[in-house]
Chains A and B, each alone.
Chain A
Amino acid sequence: MNDAVEHDLECTGLSKHFGSVRAVDDVSFRIPKGSFFSILGPSGCGKTTLMRMIAGFENPSDGDIHIKGRSVLNIPPNKRNVKMVFQHLALFPMMNVFENIAYGLRCAGTPKSEIPQKVNDVLERIALPDVGNREIHQLSGGQKQRIAIARCMVLDPDVLLLDEPLGALDLKLREAMKIELKLLQHQFNTTFIYITHDQSEALVMSDNVAVMNEGRFEQVGKPEELYHKPATSFVAGFVGDSNRWAGKVEEISDGVAKVATEAGLSMLCKPQAGVVTGAPVSIFVRPEFIGAQRASEAGPPDANSNALAGKVDSVLFNGANSRILVRGPSAELIEADVVVTGGTSDLRPGDAVQLNWAPEQAMCYAR
């Protein structure tokens, strides 16, 4: 019982079938109280269906949903203490900001005399104290966002669901709102469930992230775990950027697998569970773990590491996140992060380089 109180939301064996399509397939998870949880997945992976089931707009085909330890399966959406920020916010255009926020309070039967106080409090907390009398169309994108959150938070929900609410904003605002959302979540200390297909949103804001694919959770963990210790090849490919090779394991010794890629290269990598000799595998190497040196300055290749000779194809300058594309021996393009200082030592297209990376940075998954 004590355990149930620690978790605001718990789903067990949750499934939703539309005809023969399994939109959500046997998903189980628990979200600790007051944490920021993201569900990350490509479009069509079932994350929106999952959220709609939690909110009560869809009935699960199977499984159970517990909110604060109580099953909500037979509770209609308007009686669940789960509030939702919609993708396009769904603010009511015929009401002003005050009325938008007061709507939920009136539905809940809050005494008339307390409503203005509560609305002003929540506007205060989202740092928009004087917008009560504005119409919705007079607000900026970021303000609308905050009003949509305030409209939910004023009702003091057990769980707040956010369905890709940043999708409609421009890049600069989106970056700012990411930080703001995280701060708001801290401030309200409510459990946030955030749905997104944008990995940077999920990684930056969340305490825990679930990566979802084809109706199932591939991995649930802290952002850094997903990034550095992906459990499956889907997670490795979806979270963060990766160079990717397909190949076959030749031998495994001392926890290092020797893989021959389809393009004929030989690589050393760290085998994940289920990788056996002779098995077809995918190899993922993140660009920041690949070091690039001019071929003329590089020493002889280390037998216990990976080294590839190539030619710089192009330099993608992006400040601190600059990257080079190197055409390797088998003509594929390999991405590697580099520091571009603007000096004469910078790599330029056409330079011959040697790429190095450690076997433990090359993650190898059975296909």
Chain B
Amino acid sequence: MQGDVKRLSLILLFAPFALWIVLLIILPHLGMVYLSLREKVAPRVYEFGFGNYIDFIQEPIYWNTLLRTGSMSILVTVLALLIGFPIAYYIAKIAGRRSRGALFLLCLIPLWVSDLIRAFGWILLLRETGVISTSLQTMGLISEPVEFLYNDATVIVGLVYTVILFMIVPLVSTLDGMDDAMVEAGYNLGGSGPTVLRRIIIPYAMPGIVAGCIVVFMLTAGSYLTPILLGGKNSSWFTEQIYDQFITRFNWESGAAFGFLLLAFTSLVVWAGLRLTGQNLANTVAKN
């Protein structure tokens, strides 16, 4: 009797999760794979084949876009780590107990505004007639309006801004668990500042770094709004290609193939990153 109740409650608890995984993740992906393996040979006539993938390989603009998206996402991840680590360290180790909560909240505030509005905020600042251009003109530093939008630097800045929080949160939680005495021991045993950082703080924070990097990289590579709005036509983000295939060209087969390729590519990058840093996914998740 008791066993039955236990089992029932387990099933009930587990059901939403199972439904979510099956309906929203596994099924759509199976559908995508199925769709991507259909070749259009005539209107409404399809054959099984790898044509969509072969198209991708044969058209440099496609895989160049994918590589570009990948490398820019890695750059965004690295920048988010470089900027986020000191912030996280300050919040977790240096700030006082009371200011810690306030600082954390400040980091969260941008999340209250939607992605779209935030991107428009950037546009207001950076466009030709925007705040920065106008004020630089008033100060006499530039003679005519400058367009800050629609270049790679802007896209990267916008992306870093959007995702940095997802780097800070896991870093704060791992660094928070580090005993201050650990750092002091590092100094006490003769380590200089850089040595302590390299040999003690970073290895200790590694699970948080890996978790943050995976999340940030995945979010960046899969983001759509920020690159389109801030990068315009030049952004050539891979998600834009997928959108094009599905919506503009109405070529679902090719779009599905691209979507699947993005997933495979990002997974490969994450796997390579884990291998390079000698971490594994299980210990990253378990330590957090």
Which residues of A are in contact with B by a Cβ distance under 8 Å? 55, 57, 76-79, 82-84, 86-88, 90, 92-95, 103-104, 107-108, 151-152, 155
Contacts and interface: CB of A to CB of B under 8 A. Distances in A.
B188 A103 contact: no
Contact of B181 (A77, A87, A94): A87
Contacts of B206: 94
Contacts of A87: 181
B120 to A, nearest CB: 44
Contacts of B192: 78, 107
A78 B203 contact: no
Instruction: Pick the 6 closest A-B CB pairs, nearest first.
Output: A107-B190, A104-B189, A90-B181, A90-B185, A94-B203, A86-B181
Interface string B170-185: 0000000001011011
Contacts of A92: 182, 185-186, 199-200, 203-204
B190 A90 contact: no
A327 to B, nearest CB: 47
A94 B204 contact: yes
Contacts of B182: 90, 92
Interface of B: 179, 181-182, 184-192, 195, 199-200, 203-204, 206
Nearest to A104: B189
29 contacts: A55-B184, A55-B188, A76-B187, A77-B184, A78-B187, A78-B188, A78-B189, A78-B190, A79-B190, A82-B188, A83-B188, A83-B189, A84-B184, A84-B188, A86-B184, A88-B179, A90-B179, A90-B181, A90-B182, A90-B184, A92-B186, A92-B199, A92-B200, A93-B204, A94-B204, A95-B203, A103-B191, A107-B189, A155-B189
A71 B179 CA distance: 30
Contacts of B185: 84, 86, 90, 92
A72 to B, nearest CB: 13
Nearest to B205: A94
Contacts of A95: 203
Nearest to A101: B189
A329 to B, nearest CB: 52
Contacts of A76: 187
A88 B184 CA distance: 12
Contacts of A88: 179, 181
Given A93-B204, A94-B203, A103 B181 contact: no
A326 to B, nearest CB: 46
Contacts of A57: 184, 187
Contact of A104 (B190, B200, B204): B190
**Listed residue (B188, B191, B203, B206) with the most chain A CB atoms within 10 angstroms of its CB:** B188
A95 B200 CA distance: 9
Given A83-B189, A84-B188, 4 more contacts: A77-B184, A83-B188, A86-B185, A92-B203
A160 to B, nearest CB: 11
Nearest to B203: A94
Contacts of A86: 181, 184-185
Contact of B190 (A55, A93, A94, A155): A155
Nearest to A83: B188
A84 B191 CA distance: 13
Nearest to B191: A107
Contacts of A84: 184-185, 188
Contacts of B189: 78, 83, 103-104, 107, 151-152, 155
B188 A77 contact: yes
Nearest to A52: B184
B242 to A, nearest CB: 40
A78 B186 CA distance: 8
**Listed residue (A84, A88, A107) with the most chain B CB atoms within 10 angstroms of its CB:** A107
A84 B180 CA distance: 14
A87 B184 CA distance: 12
Nearest to B195: A107
Nearest to B199: A103
A23 to B, nearest CB: 17
Contacts of A152: 189
Contacts of B191: 78, 103, 107
Contacts of A94: 203-204, 206
B186 to A, nearest CB: 8
A93 B207 CA distance: 13
A108 B188 contact: no
Contacts of B199: 92, 103
A348 B45 CA distance: 104
B283 to A, nearest CB: 11
A55 B185 CA distance: 10
Contacts of A78: 187-192
A115 to B, nearest CB: 13
Contacts of B184: 55, 57, 77, 84, 86, 90
**Listed residue (A55, A93, A103) with the most chain B CB atoms within 10 angstroms of its CB:** A103
A107 B186 CA distance: 9
A117 to B, nearest CB: 19
A87 B180 CA distance: 11
A94 B208 CA distance: 14
A151 B189 CA distance: 8
A108 B191 CA distance: 8
A104 B191 CA distance: 7
Contacts of A104: 189-190
B191 to A, nearest CB: 5
A163 to B, nearest CB: 9
A90 B203 CA distance: 14
A87 B179 CA distance: 11
B187 to A, nearest CB: 5
Contacts of A151: 189
A77 B185 CA distance: 10
A90 B179 CA distance: 7
